Chain A
Amino acid sequence: MPVAGPRRVRWGVLAVFLTPALILLTAFVIAPILGTVAISFECKHGFCLKNYVDVITQQSPDLALIYPPGFGGPPPWGALIHNIVWILIHVPLTTMLGLIIAYLLKDTLGGSFIKSIIFIGMVIPMVVGGLIIRFMFDKYVGIVPKIFQFLGVKSLAITWTSYPQTALIALILGSVWLWTGFSMTIYAAALETIPRDYIEAAKVDGASERQIFFKIILPLLKPATLVVVLMTILWDLKIFDIVFVATLGGPGGASTVMALVMYMYFARELDFAKAAAVAVLLALLTLIPGVYMARRAVKG
């Protein structure tokens, strides 16, 4: 067998293949990103950090990223805090629900039909999803207030999106409903890849159903869990459309999020520099899970 020597790099061929992609990437990805970053540092006289200081210290409740006056009471707490609360509630709920549904429906008759219905939440446009959330939590037509009315909980038989105490949680619960289809699908696919032998071996070895789930299945689903958790965190950081449609961040900024604040600076205040600053902050936040995921992917 001939021994492979170091391969010569053929620069001509490399250029032919790389140039078109590089041009497109530069024009449509790299340039706009750099442009946005540049705008975010723009001041009257050259560059400065003022835009960042302003958006972080902003104390108007509907534009604030962090709003200390609201702490201790109901929202608004500031868009960044809302995003974090969103992640803290949404990620565990969606992950667990998706896993439970996928596991229970795995070998159930008609399971795939039910799974497709749950998956609808993923398929419909998020704008439509936002509208549906608004209806679901409406005092007169919504299912959630009706249930609480039936249970006799008067304080929750209201239009949730109209009150600062309930607006944010209504959106978060709605997003659970929309996003569970995603985690369920990932888990359903991952469950299919677990060889039946593992489960049968555990059965013969004397493991109960509970032990099989916690000692065999759950650890083997770790890669799927990682994908679900990271993707959900990313989605929660970027969340915009359902908030825009359902509450527009209201009432009084009680359900606003980072992306919406960015949009408000841009479209309502017409302050492009501050919009860009929020955009850069948001992008930096999404980089945390993003980079982690990319590194895992590279490692394999």
Chain B
Amino acid sequence: MADVRLENVVKRFGKVVAVDHVNLHVKDGEFFILLGPSGCGKTTTLRIIAGLEYPDEGRVYIGGKDVTDLEPMDRDVAMVFQNYALYPHMTVYENIAFPLKIRRKKLGLTKEEIDERVHEVAKMLHIEELLDRKPGQLSGGQQQRVALARALVRRPKVWLMDEPLSNLDALLRVVMRAELKKLQKQLGITTIYVTHDQAEAMSMADRIAVMNKGRIMQVGTPHEVYYKPAHVFVATFIGNPPANILECRVTQDGDKIILECPGHREEIRDPELADAVRRAGVREIYLGMRPEHIKILKHPEPGTFKGKVYVVEPLGSEQIVDVTIDGTVVKVKAPPTLSLQPGETVYLKPEDWKKVMVFDKKTGKALKGATP
């Protein structure tokens, strides 16, 4: 068991900076998720930890030991690849035993001990009956379990996973999500997991690092990144659908602070919000509102945003309504009982201004988070 620390890690591919001064500290036994859109540098960061890429700058520590210049084999990490990378010419048994067999002497294992450990891990992952098969004869979910078993059999210090669930169908993914989380907690292995799926990250992680363009935008618990996003990017990346962003201007009229948004002009009444805007002293802000924190009204009320229904997506338990406000699309979660027609004029009202997030338009940084 060990913690993992990255200090000022930079990786360039030609002119492209894939990883830009990344600092991270993954605690011992933690389930840590690197989340971001494709090309954000999350996989490269993981590969640097594995030793498959070497950083141009910065250091990598595993369990307090500087491993920056060590080969992958000397780092005591195990990795699960996106397409599992099971060796097609070996049986499931041979695949799982491979990491032990090739280092039998170094690990001081007898053949019987290897056999015991393979069966032990196979039992844990419910793949005992598959041991004689070749990977080509397995379903996606089974292959995934074998890949997990191969990564576990060596009892590594750190478990690295590169989008291991992305090749599974949607139903199986949800099942495996829970299983993986349970397994990780049960074994207590420090785990670093890469995904672009925010639902996966929210449901499994102890902490999430949200990455964009090679940089870490925020590190926090799922709760923190959801309610208190540090940057407008985090707010627009997390959530399903993610937070709505409205571009607004702030003007001061004596003691009053006036907010001018598309389809809306009003004095800010919420003291917390007014305070945040006043302290920052900025003129242009982004308002961030979660789809579930907005109410749809059919008649105007003070403090509402006037818009038109663009499209309605029923989801069974709820419906997602796209409303255009002066050209900006706002997604709102509405109860399925609300009947709406495209083109209908509606009025959007923040459920509670305490749940509205505010970001500086220039820097994108958060001025105020949401109160859950």
What is the interface of chain A, defined by CB distance below 8 A to chain B?
195, 197-198, 200-208, 211, 215-216, 219-220, 222
**A210: shortest Cβ distance to chain B, in Å?**
10
The reply to whether B78 and A204 contact each other, CB–CB distance below 8 Å, is yes
A residues less than 8 Å from B83 (CB atoms): 195, 197
Do the beta carbons of B79 and A201 come within 8 Å of each other?
Answer: yes
Per-residue CB contact flags for chain B residues 85-108 toward chain A (1 = under 8 Å, else 0) read 101110000000011001100100
Q: Are B73 and A204 in contact (CB under 8 A)?
A: yes
Report, nearest first, the 8 A-B pairs whose CB atoms are least far apart.
Answer: A197-B85, A201-B85, A205-B99, A206-B73, A219-B89, A204-B72, A204-B79, A203-B72
- Indicate if the CB atoms of A206 and B99 lie closer than 8 Å: yes
For the complex, give the distance between the alpha carbons of A195 and B85 in Å: 8
B71 within 8 A of A: yes
Most buried by B among A200, A203, A205, A208: A205
C-alpha spacing A170/B13, complex, angstroms: 49
Contact B81 A200 (CB under 8 A): yes
Q: What are 17 A-B residue pairs whose CB atoms fall within 8 Å in the complex? A: A197-B83, A200-B52, A201-B81, A201-B85, A201-B87, A202-B87, A203-B73, A204-B51, A204-B78, A205-B102, A205-B154, A206-B154, A207-B102, A208-B102, A211-B102, A215-B102, A216-B87
List 9 additional A-B contacts (Cβ < 8 Å) besides A203-B71, A205-B98.
Answer: A195-B85, A200-B79, A201-B85, A202-B87, A204-B72, A204-B79, A206-B72, A215-B102, A216-B87
Residues of B within 8 A of A200 (CB): 50, 52, 72, 79, 81, 85
A205–B85 alpha-carbon span in the complex (Å): 12
Query: Which residues of the other chain, A, contact B119 by a CB distance below 8 angstroms?
Result: none
In Å, the complex CA distance between A201 and B72 comes to 10
Q: List the B side residues contacting A198 at CB < 8 Å.
A: 85, 87
**Interchain CA distance A203-B98 in the complex, whole Å:** 11
Residue interface mask B336-348, A partner, CB < 8 A = 1:
0000000000000
Please name all residues of chain A whose beta carbon is closer than 8 Å to the beta carbon of B150 when the two chains form the complex.
Answer: 205
How many residue pairs between the two chains, A and B, have CB atoms under 8 Å in the bound complex? 63
Closest to B81 in A: A197
Residue B285 CB within 8 A of the other chain: no
- Bound Cα distance A201, B87 (Å): 9
The minimal Cβ–Cβ distance linking A167 to chain B, given in whole angstroms, is 42
Residues in B with CB closer than 8 Å to A203 are: 51-52, 71-73
> Measuring CB to CB, which residues of chain B are less than 8 angstroms from any residue of chain A?
50-52, 71-73, 77-79, 81-83, 85, 87-89, 98-99, 102-103, 106, 150, 154, 160
- Smallest beta-carbon distance A224→chain B, Å: 13
Q: How far is the CA of A220 from the CA of B73 in the complex (A)?
A: 22
CB distance from A220 to the nearest CB of B (A): 6
Residue of B nearest to A218 (CB): B89
Cβ of B49 to closest chain A Cβ, rounded Å: 11
B contact residues around A219 at 8 Å (CB)? 89
Alpha-carbon distance between A203 and B47 when the two chains are bound, in angstroms: 12
Which A residues are in CB contact (< 8 Å) with B103? 206
- The answer to whether B77 and A204 have CB atoms under 8 Å apart is yes
Instruction: Contact check, A222 vs B89: say whether CB atoms are below 8 A apart.
Output: yes
A-side contacts of B87, CB under 8 Å:
198, 201-202, 216, 220
Complexed CA–CA distance, A202 and B87 (Å): 9
Complex Cα gap A204–B77 (Å): 7
Residues of chain B contacted by A204 (CB below 8 angstroms): 50-52, 72-73, 77-79, 160
Residue of B nearest to A220 (CB): B89
A207 to B106, CA, bound (A): 12
Q: Within 8 Å CB of B71, what residues of A?
A: 203
Residues on B with beta carbons closer than 8 Å to the beta carbon of A216? 87
Closest to B83 in A: A197
**In the complex, A122 Cα to B155 Cα: how many Å?**
51
* Chain B residue with the shortest CB-CB distance to A195: B85
Complex: chain B residue closest to A216, CB-CB: B87
Closest to B88 in A: A220
**Interface pair A207/B85, CB less than 8 Å apart:** no
A211 to B106, CA, bound (A): 14
Contacting residue for A205 out of B78, B89, B106, CB 8 A: B78
**A195 proximity list for chain B (CB < 8 A):** 83, 85
CA distance A198 to B150 in the complex (A): 13
Give the docked Cα–Cα distance between A207 and B99 (Å): 8
Expressed in whole angstroms, the Cα–Cα distance for A206 and B150 within the complex equals 12
